[in-house]
């Protein structure tokens, strides 16, 4: 179990069990996949194991159990505290940084020739997108350096944390703009989502595009709620295969 301490409050973040799905073919990429609110890593590792992506190693951690404002302070697994499942709510920078650092730590021991990515569903997608902004800015929200070189980001039914300050943080940084332009992002959202409304996913995509994320794909699934469907996972498979230049079962 990994524990991260915030220097200001010294509040511990105790992460749960991590589940790993080993590649069935030649290992070309490693992706950390993050579950949604009140879920666990094993829920997604079982699904990802069935995807025909033999060159990917999947790492599925479990979030800390903590009081969550949207549930009136009731504790559940959550990557950060949240009072509103959208970009409109207050941002728990301490929680966001701790979870992004946990993900970066999981990727830091991968071989140098392996492409690295982060994906997630709902709140997990929020951490994936937050990690993308940390990557292009070269630092976490608290100013500590972010050094993981990401090659792909996938967000399903999620939103972009800290969207209100992203543009101002990027202003004047040519390096951040260059990194944003070269980082592929796939966002998928159901039009019938009644948990994280479709408009929040669409707005997050617009914000990312406006600050320079040029290789961004946004897919809408008509009538789909806050869950995944086979067509969506097919899109994820095809997109990852193309963006990460995966070989399939040939090696």
**Residues with active-site annotation:** 122, 193, 226
Strands (E), the chain: 3-5, 12-14, 19-21, 29-34, 56-60, 65-68, 74-77, 115-121, 152-156, 185-190, 216-221
The set of residues, in sequence order, having a beta carbon less than 8 Å from that of 86 and lying 6+ positions away, is: 159, 196, 197, 200
Rounded CA-CA distance 247/236 in Å is: 16
Rounded CA-CA distance 175/121 in Å is: 29
The set of residues, in sequence order, having a beta carbon less than 8 Å from that of 137 and lying 6+ positions away, is: 146, 169, 170, 173, 176
């Amino acid at each position: 179990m990994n524990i991260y301490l915030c220097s200001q409050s010294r509040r511990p973040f105790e992460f749960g069990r991590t589940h790993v799905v080993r590649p069935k073919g030649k290992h070309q990429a490693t992706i950390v996949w993050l579950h949604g609110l009140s879920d666990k890593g094993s829920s997604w590792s079982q699904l990802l194991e069935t995807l025909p992506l033999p060159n990917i190693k999947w790492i599925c951690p479990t979030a800390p159990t903590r009081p969550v404002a949207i549930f009136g302070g009731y504790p559940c697994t959550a990557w950060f505290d949240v009072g509103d499942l959208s970009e409109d709510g207050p941002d728990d920078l301490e929680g966001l940084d701790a979870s992004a650092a946990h993900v970066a730590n999981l990727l830091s021991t991968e071989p140098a020739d392996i492409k690295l990515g982060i994906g997630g569903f709902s709140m997990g997608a929020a951490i994936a997108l937050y990690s993308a902004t940390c990557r292009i800015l070269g630092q976490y929200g608290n100013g500590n350096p972010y050094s993981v070189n990401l090659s792909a980001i996938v967000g399903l039914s999620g939103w972009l944390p800290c969207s209100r300050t992203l543009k101002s943080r990027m202003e004047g940084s040519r390096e951040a703009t260059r990194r944003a332009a070269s980082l592929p992002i796939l966002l998928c959202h159901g039009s019938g989502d009644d948990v994280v409304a479709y408009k929040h996913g669409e707005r997050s995509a617009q914000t990312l595009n406006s600050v320079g994320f040029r290789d961004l794909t946004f897919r809408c699934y008509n009538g789909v709620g806050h869950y995944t469907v086979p067509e969506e996972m097919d899109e994820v498979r095809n997109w990852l295969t193309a963006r990460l230049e995966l070989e399939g079962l040939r090696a």
